[in-house]
Structure 1
Amino acid sequence: MAEVSKREATFSKIIWPENSPSIENLVRAGFYCTGVSGEVTCFYCNGSLHKWGPNDNPMVEHARWFPHCDYAKHLCGNNLYGKIQSSKKNLLAENKIDPNELRSLVVARLDLPVVERLRSQYSLPLIKRCIEDQFKIKNDDFESDSDLSMACLVLQKQIDILQNSKHNFIIPSKDQQLNNSSQPAKKSLGECFICLTEEKKLACMPCGHLCACVPCGYALKSCPICRQHLKGFISVSA
């Protein structure tokens, strides 16, 4: 589908909605028709978009929803691409992401080639959680495919540590079990290094240090343990 003529040919199989962007602009933006009315997919990054508005610019929407697509980035040019990403980040920061929008953002990224590659190493729910946490905490995409890969690695390590720690629990006597039956045990991850009050919930990326609660995490620019610049967080639960 790298050839323009082949992408154009895919639109001849259906009636393209009148209130959507022109086929010419969609093809130029790297899209081909999937066979479903209103849905297109990028030949380069495999990202799919639908629910178009009459004033939507395919090139801009391509770069907005799939910032790691080199084809879209090259098409926009560095100046426009930078403005698109800044605008998206500011919008997400000003408006809390509602569940439906978050779901759309995550689903749009699950078809990306990097996710397909990561599925050979990690479960899809784990990859999905990393993407969700990035939007919830940082209000933005991962800066690169390697950052998403690192997030998956950090989260998997945290999960492995928590699962392995179960074998280190001391089993109480029967009397102790009866006395504590109404008080379910909860494993703590320790106090936040910043406020020393709330429980640690966030692991820094890319270093992987578990160090902060969610409220304090918003203010961090570097890891409080190793001082490495932060690229994101992974939410960890006991």
Structure 2
Amino acid sequence: MRSEEKRLRTFQQWPESSPVSATDLAKAGFFFLGPGDRVQCFCCGGILRSWEAEDQPMREHQKFFPTCKFICGEDVGNQQMLLPFLEILDHVDGQILSLLQRMDVEETALPSQPEYPEMESEAMRLATFQNWPPYTELYPEQLARAGFFYTGQGDTVRCFYCDGSLRNWELGDDPWREHAKWFPRCEFLLQSRGREFVASIQDSYFNTLVFPVSFKWIFLVDGGCSGGEKIEETLSFCDRYVEQLRRLQEERMCKVCMDKDVSIVFVPCGHLVVCAECAPSLRRCPICRTVIRGNVKTFMS
């Protein structure tokens, strides 16, 4: 968790109602611990929660854990991001966002509670499939065993633990593989199938994707740039994307209702073009016409 980017990745289920942004918390050395709004420092191990509107993460960190080496400015191997991760997520196009969705399954899964504890029983999940559409290619038993319950809408199912949803199932789909492909940090998945299975699915899938737009993350490490790049190259890299980021920022509006901000990423294409209200009515991505298999909700700072 020395990497600010990796800390920020843990905030996937950060409460939307929290008055403190995940970006500020990650910058202050915290990663999301849960439940609720509990966070923990990667260096001193200090835990804070019950955040309020006027709280500043760095100041609160210093107030409650003044001897933390990270807060004291000592070299503890912290890797800062040159550009705020969530700020870029607001602007980059869908193909890049799809790549960034891959989680590092080698990281230790963070302790948490099921999003739907009432669906923890496989029998209870299976009972939700009474009105499962007859045209679907998968048996309810397969989906329930892989942690999913039926939402009652089309062929959309949701994981009782991680809250990940998938739809538009096709012949030959394996619920466990799809679970591992799109929600690799789900603890139910990791405990049921093991890290090696999840890692193999991630590697086999993401190593075969071809992304038309290349995007490079550059971190400042010990005052320099990772990979031996020069500072001049880093600045040049930033300049090349200034205009693109500005243009993409103007495209945050939902392309269906043209009113609300986009907040739903389509799986598997990764395009971020519609709001939460318009997403359920779409079967294909309006950008690339790819069949929508699932939705991932994003939270913009």
TM-score normalised per structure 2:
0.33
> Which of the pair has the greater relative contact order for Cα pairs under 8 Å at 6+ separation?
2
TM-score normalised per structure 1:
0.41
